[in-house]
A and B are shown apart, each in its own frame.
Chain A
Amino acid sequence: MPAASFTRSFLLLFSGPIIWTVHFLAIYSWTGVLCARPSWATDRMIVSGIVLVSVAAVAAITLIHVRIWMHTAQPMADAGFLRRTAAALGLLSALAIVWETLPAYIVPACG
């Protein structure tokens, strides 16, 4: 199998956690920078930004996996192992994203 399609399979397998990673870095740096520059944004903007990015991340994970499930040929050499593992990782990542967004409603933004 040429390396290009391995890279593609690899990125698909890890798409959930990769999106989680990007999301996490985004919310942390968004909060960190804006709390360090109080004149740049209000607390409400900070929280809104976090929620927006979270919704986008969960949507991205959902879209990618719906596409994978609709477009993958059957039967697969590895009995669907890659596809199922990717989906499970996506679900776990989406749950983690939601869980990590909850503090935005509980804790003061820059306290």
Chain B
Amino acid sequence: MADIDNILPNTAPRPQEETDLLARVWQPPKGLSFLTAVNNTYIGLLYIGTAFLFFLLAGILALMMRTQLAVPDNDLISYQTYNQLFTMHGTVMMFLFAVPAVEAMGVLLLPNMLAARDLPFPRLSAYAYWAYAVGGLVFFCSLFFDLAPQGGWFMYPPLTSYQHSPGANADFWLLGIGFIEISAIAGAIEIVVGVLRTRAPGMTLDKIPIFGWAMLVFAGMIIFAFPAVILCTILLELERSFYWPFFVAEKGGDPLLWQHLFWFFGHPEVYIIFLPAVGMVSMIVSAMVQRRLIGHNLIVLALIATGFFSFGLWVHHMFATGIPQLSLSFFSAASMAVSIPSGIQVFAWIATMAAARRFKIKVPLLFVLGFLFIFVLGGLTGVMVAVVPFDWQAHDTYFVVAHLHYVLFGGMVFPLFAAFYYWAPFVSARPLSERLGKWSFWLMFAGFNVAFFPMHITGLAGMPRRVYTYSEALGWGPLNMLSTIGAYIIAAGVLVFLYDLVRNFRPTGGQNAGNIWNAGTLEWLPNDNYGVRSIPIISTHEPLWEQPNLADDVAAGRYYLPNAPTQGRETIVTSPIDARPQYVLQMPGPSWPALLSALGTAGFFLSLTVKLIVPALLFGAMAIWMMFKWMWSTDPAPLPEEVDIGGGIRLPTYMSGPSSHSWWAMVILILVAGSIFGSMLFSYLFLWTVSPDVWPKAADLPALAWPGAAVAALAASGACVAWLSRRLRRGAATLQISFIMPAAIVLLAASTAIECYGQLQTGLSPRHSAYGAAVYGIIALQGFFAVVVAMMGLYTVARARRGMLDSRRRNTFDNTMLLWYYTLAQGMIGLALVHAFPRLTGG
């Protein structure tokens, strides 16, 4: 005993008050206040449950469609309703089920896998969840009012623009899905900062569990892919509401612009959905065969390679649009190349299973085997459709429907069910049932193949997608009937699973069923609402297998932070590569503002959808007010200055500058903003490429004095902020901040106003042509950021005046400063493009 006490950071036995304090500080709120919980375990469970609900709802829509298609010339469902059904099935499955479900698994599992007590920004995940849940449910209910979008899940204009879709249906999609994307991005910020900065000490990059790597790549992809769809959503809404003709060919717009932006998001989206499943499968296989994952480093390589290469595939959704052959071929080549990393992963899993000491097929492994079979088949048809001439035959037929369901259902849904069965003992007092699990699996596996395999054939026989019926003479009847029967068998399998849930799933904070699989990773340590009792030092890859007594030592409090020295919720922030402890992160408890600002956000967007402007403004005001209340409790005073975490290590409780987790979050947000702006720049350049006739000659542009003045105002604004930042190093600069920050705000606003006025006085209107729309689109984006930065600036002044800002405690100022610099750069680049590009290219 004495030897152990000499090596480990803290001695045991620990005083009982420590566990009592931890339990009290991390206690979930009771009664109605339960809605204000922010602990990742509770939010994670709510998130997964809600995502699964959307899976069931969208599944019912699928059953309705399959029933309509079971026999030829059916009149069970009208074409108007059918259009809403297939649009909602795709939209709900992709946006409200798939991405949230895998993100939720990350929220639930990552902190424990890394031995952190929670995610770094708990209220942010709570906000993301509630905005998604409320917004998503209201969006789904549009079906009951005949207001659901009808343009397909990818909503191509001109079908979805003002001329052909005049009702609110398309707006529900554009505004309804828009803010769900915000939720995904909030989650991505959490995951990146969590995986890189809150790991157990000693968990160097090579020792991160494979699921952690998968989620890191997942989050990185969200950061660069989602902005494209956010932007095209905004552009289409501007076109519909204000007649800015981004996609109207007669005015120089181009429907292909939508397709490029949408699919630049849409293709990475399916890998965003798939990669977490890869991570989950890798962990499940390793644990179930009781073997270290063979090819672990190769799988990390494959995850990163897939993450990048998947951004080079988007035009393979546009092979039939008349783009030049050589251009198409680049995407054809990349689409084939991306199958190599996927292949590496499949072989690594097969090798691991082949090396099993004992190969006992439990339900999680069964779902993994099903995934392998189905996903690989989908991958094969994927390489087929990557061949351009073949795609020209298969495009818009049921062959593609078969392919996409094989890769999505096989590649994500089966791993998700495997994960449910595998990780149930982590959150439930009882594991799920082996017997019911096997029934569920076989029904789903058989049903899936019966439903979707025939679609390869009906597709090649010519059956198009998105048709509500077909003629008997075409002979597609028998295969469609088979598909419908298969769909109902899948439903039976899902029902068995639901029954299993009801009978056995008992969510718990601290009484989970435990490590019944004898897995090796940290989420299987004894845990409670506060996560682990003490934060361990990691030296191996499967710590529970290779570090003897780890579980007992952690539970006895022999490792770091066995208590709550700041009397609040804490975890340890570590360095990104070597995972050395750097500081103690103080985290919030239950929060009303996070919940209410989420409801306000949802209410704002949904009111705008049905053009209820006053309610929208009220909801928006509530959201902003609640966000200020939430923000006010952030950036706490660094008291106590330092705490003892054990092992002779004293850590600060506050960190500012580039090592701060809040700086990192702001940098990620800036990457997102930059991607949105990048998409806007692409839009301008693409429209110039396809519509040179609406581009101005140099003489039609505003005189250079206008952008000159705008640039000068931007530079002056930046100089003010830079000066304040340097001044703040010497001490609280309250007086200077109070006067100079507002001046900097005025300069920033002035630069946007100058540019806008300069364009207006040439007679350019955003409705005029796609050129006008693009220019004012750039100005509007800049204006939006100017407003946000202005609000942050005024908030910073308020903090300074209340004595909450000084040379040490300056995270609030730094965050504002970072976004300020970004906005300046965005403004200058926008001005350079708009004013220099037409002059350089001669129109």
A residues whose Cβ falls under 8 Å from a Cβ of B: 1-4, 6, 9, 14, 17-18, 20-21, 24, 27-29, 31-33, 35-37, 46, 77-79, 81-82, 84-85, 88-89, 92-93, 95-96, 99-100, 102-104, 106-111
User: Are A100 and B333 within 8 A (Cβ)?
Assistant: yes
- Determine the chain B residues whose CB is within 8 A of the CB of A89 once the complex forms: 301, 304-305
Q: A29 CA to B315 CA in the complex, in Å?
A: 13
User: Are B205 and A82 within 8 A (Cβ)?
Assistant: yes
User: Are B326 and A108 within 8 A (Cβ)?
Assistant: yes
- Determine the chain A residues whose CB is within 8 A of the CB of B337 once the complex forms: 95-96, 99-100
User: Are A32 and B329 within 8 A (Cβ)?
Assistant: no
Q: A33 CA to B323 CA in the complex, in Å?
A: 11
Q: Identify which of residues 330-349 in chain B touch chain A, using a CB-to-CB cut-off of 8 Å.
A: 330, 332-334, 336-337, 340-341
Known: A32-B323, A78-B207. 20 other contacts (CB 8 A): A1-B575, A1-B576, A2-B658, A3-B576, A4-B658, A14-B304, A17-B307, A31-B327, A35-B327, A78-B206, A81-B297, A82-B205, A85-B301, A85-B304, A88-B301, A95-B337, A100-B312, A100-B337, A103-B333, A111-B326
**Would you call B659 an interface residue if the criterion is a C-beta within 8 Å of the partner chain's C-beta atoms?**
yes
Interface residue count for B (Cβ, 8 Å)? 42
Chain B CB within 10 Å, residue with most, of A21, A27, A96: A96
Distance to closest chain A CB from B199 (angstroms): 13
Q: A32 CA to B689 CA in the complex, in Å?
A: 8
User: Are B577 and A1 within 8 A (Cβ)?
Assistant: yes
User: Are B308 and A21 within 8 A (Cβ)?
Assistant: yes
Q: Identify which of residues 297-319 in chain B touch chain A, using a CB-to-CB cut-off of 8 Å.
A: 297-298, 300-301, 304-305, 307-309, 311-312
User: Are B305 and A92 within 8 A (Cβ)?
Assistant: yes
- Determine the chain A residues whose CB is within 8 A of the CB of B332 once the complex forms: 103
- Specify the chain B residue showing the minimal Cβ separation from A106: B329
Distance to closest chain B CB from A75 (angstroms): 13
Q: A106 CA to B326 CA in the complex, in Å?
A: 9
**Would you call B233 an interface residue if the criterion is a C-beta within 8 Å of the partner chain's C-beta atoms?**
no
User: Are B206 and A81 within 8 A (Cβ)?
Assistant: yes
User: Are A103 and B329 within 8 A (Cβ)?
Assistant: yes
Kindly identify which residue among A77, A78, A82, A110 contacts B326, using a CB–CB cutoff of 8 Å: A110
- Determine the chain A residues whose CB is within 8 A of the CB of B746 once the complex forms: none
- Determine the chain B residues whose CB is within 8 A of the CB of A108 once the complex forms: 325-326
6 A/B residue pairs, CB under 8 Å, sorted by A: A1-B578, A3-B659, A9-B577, A77-B577, A100-B333, A110-B326
Q: Identify which of residues 529-566 in chain B touch chain A, using a CB-to-CB cut-off of 8 Å.
A: none
Q: A28 CA to B330 CA in the complex, in Å?
A: 7
- Specify the chain B residue showing the minimal Cβ separation from A81: B206
User: Are B327 and A92 within 8 A (Cβ)?
Assistant: no
User: Are A104 and B206 within 8 A (Cβ)?
Assistant: no
User: Are A28 and B327 within 8 A (Cβ)?
Assistant: yes
Distance to closest chain B CB from A40 (angstroms): 10
- Determine the chain B residues whose CB is within 8 A of the CB of A81 once the complex forms: 204-206, 297
User: Are B330 and A27 within 8 A (Cβ)?
Assistant: yes
Q: A107 CA to B300 CA in the complex, in Å?
A: 34
Q: A37 CA to B688 CA in the complex, in Å?
A: 11
Distance to closest chain B CB from A7 (angstroms): 9
User: Are A84 and B325 within 8 A (Cβ)?
Assistant: no
Kindly identify which residue among A3, A88, A107 contacts B329, using a CB–CB cutoff of 8 Å: A107
- Specify the chain A residue showing the minimal Cβ separation from B686: A32
User: Are B324 and A111 within 8 A (Cβ)?
Assistant: yes
Top 4 nearest A-B pairs by Cβ distance?
A: A103-B329, A81-B206, A3-B658, A17-B308
Distance to closest chain B CB from A74 (angstroms): 15
Distance to closest chain B CB from A65 (angstroms): 14
Distance to closest chain B CB from A110 (angstroms): 5
- Determine the chain A residues whose CB is within 8 A of the CB of B333 once the complex forms: 99-100, 102-103
- What DSSP secondary structure best describes chain B's contact surface? helix
User: Are B326 and A109 within 8 A (Cβ)?
Assistant: yes
- Determine the chain B residues whose CB is within 8 A of the CB of A31 once the complex forms: 324, 326-327, 330
Chain A CB within 10 Å, residue with most, of B324, B658, B692: B324
Q: A102 CA to B305 CA in the complex, in Å?
A: 20
Contact A78 to B330, CB < 8 A, known contacts A9-B577, A17-B304:
no
User: Are A24 and B330 within 8 A (Cβ)?
Assistant: yes
**Would you call B753 an interface residue if the criterion is a C-beta within 8 Å of the partner chain's C-beta atoms?**
no
- Determine the chain B residues whose CB is within 8 A of the CB of A24 once the complex forms: 311-312, 330, 334
- Specify the chain B residue showing the minimal Cβ separation from A4: B658
Contact A110 to B324, CB < 8 A, known contacts A33-B689, A78-B205, A92-B305:
yes
Q: A27 CA to B304 CA in the complex, in Å?
A: 22
Distance to closest chain A CB from B568 (angstroms): 26
Q: A66 CA to B309 CA in the complex, in Å?
A: 23
**Would you call B580 an interface residue if the criterion is a C-beta within 8 Å of the partner chain's C-beta atoms?**
yes
Q: A27 CA to B305 CA in the complex, in Å?
A: 19
- Determine the chain A residues whose CB is within 8 A of the CB of B649 once the complex forms: none
Q: A37 CA to B327 CA in the complex, in Å?
A: 15
**Would you call B690 an interface residue if the criterion is a C-beta within 8 Å of the partner chain's C-beta atoms?**
yes
User: Are A85 and B297 within 8 A (Cβ)?
Assistant: yes
Q: A32 CA to B340 CA in the complex, in Å?
A: 27
Q: A103 CA to B332 CA in the complex, in Å?
A: 9
Question: What 1/0 flags go to B388-418 for Cβ under 8 Å of A?
Answer: 0000000000000000000000000000000
- Determine the chain B residues whose CB is within 8 A of the CB of A36 once the complex forms: 689-690
- Determine the chain A residues whose CB is within 8 A of the CB of B305 once the complex forms: 17, 89, 92-93
Q: A102 CA to B336 CA in the complex, in Å?
A: 13
Kindly identify which residue among B298, B324, B341 contacts A109, using a CB–CB cutoff of 8 Å: B324
Contact A1 to B300, CB < 8 A, known contacts A36-B690, A79-B206:
no
User: Are A78 and B204 within 8 A (Cβ)?
Assistant: yes
Distance to closest chain A CB from B314 (angstroms): 10
- Determine the chain B residues whose CB is within 8 A of the CB of A9 once the complex forms: 577
- Determine the chain A residues whose CB is within 8 A of the CB of B664 once the complex forms: 3
User: Are A78 and B577 within 8 A (Cβ)?
Assistant: yes
Kindly identify which residue among B206, B298, B324, B578 contacts A35, using a CB–CB cutoff of 8 Å: B324
- Specify the chain B residue showing the minimal Cβ separation from A13: B304
Contact A1 to B580, CB < 8 A, known contacts A21-B308, A100-B333, A107-B329:
yes
- Determine the chain B residues whose CB is within 8 A of the CB of A107 once the complex forms: 325-326, 329
- Specify the chain A residue showing the minimal Cβ separation from B578: A77
- Specify the chain A residue showing the minimal Cβ separation from B334: A100
Q: A81 CA to B298 CA in the complex, in Å?
A: 11
- Determine the chain B residues whose CB is within 8 A of the CB of A4 once the complex forms: 658
Q: A37 CA to B312 CA in the complex, in Å?
A: 23
Distance to closest chain B CB from A81 (angstroms): 3
- Determine the chain B residues whose CB is within 8 A of the CB of A99 once the complex forms: 333, 336-337
- Specify the chain A residue showing the minimal Cβ separation from B580: A1
Distance to closest chain B CB from A88 (angstroms): 5
- Specify the chain A residue showing the minimal Cβ separation from B207: A78
- Determine the chain B residues whose CB is within 8 A of the CB of A96 once the complex forms: 309, 334, 337
Question: What 1/0 flags go to B680-695 for Cβ under 8 Å of A?
Answer: 0000010001101000
- Determine the chain B residues whose CB is within 8 A of the CB of A27 once the complex forms: 330
Contact A6 to B309, CB < 8 A, known contacts A14-B304, A24-B334, A89-B301:
no
User: Are A6 and B577 within 8 A (Cβ)?
Assistant: yes
Contact A100 to B576, CB < 8 A, known contacts A3-B658, A17-B305, A111-B325:
no
- Determine the chain B residues whose CB is within 8 A of the CB of A100 once the complex forms: 312, 330, 333-334, 337
Distance to closest chain A CB from B663 (angstroms): 8
- Specify the chain A residue showing the minimal Cβ separation from B336: A99
Distance to closest chain A CB from B646 (angstroms): 22
- Determine the chain B residues whose CB is within 8 A of the CB of A33 once the complex forms: 689
Q: A21 CA to B314 CA in the complex, in Å?
A: 13
Distance to closest chain B CB from A111 (angstroms): 5
- Determine the chain B residues whose CB is within 8 A of the CB of A95 once the complex forms: 337
- Specify the chain B residue showing the minimal Cβ separation from A47: B326
- Specify the chain B residue showing the minimal Cβ separation from A10: B576
- Determine the chain B residues whose CB is within 8 A of the CB of A28 once the complex forms: 327, 330
- Determine the chain A residues whose CB is within 8 A of the CB of B204 once the complex forms: 77-78, 81
Kindly identify which residue among A1, A21, A32, A88 contacts B327, using a CB–CB cutoff of 8 Å: A32
Q: A82 CA to B312 CA in the complex, in Å?
A: 24
- Determine the chain A residues whose CB is within 8 A of the CB of B575 once the complex forms: 1, 6
- Specify the chain B residue showing the minimal Cβ separation from A43: B326
Q: A14 CA to B205 CA in the complex, in Å?
A: 14
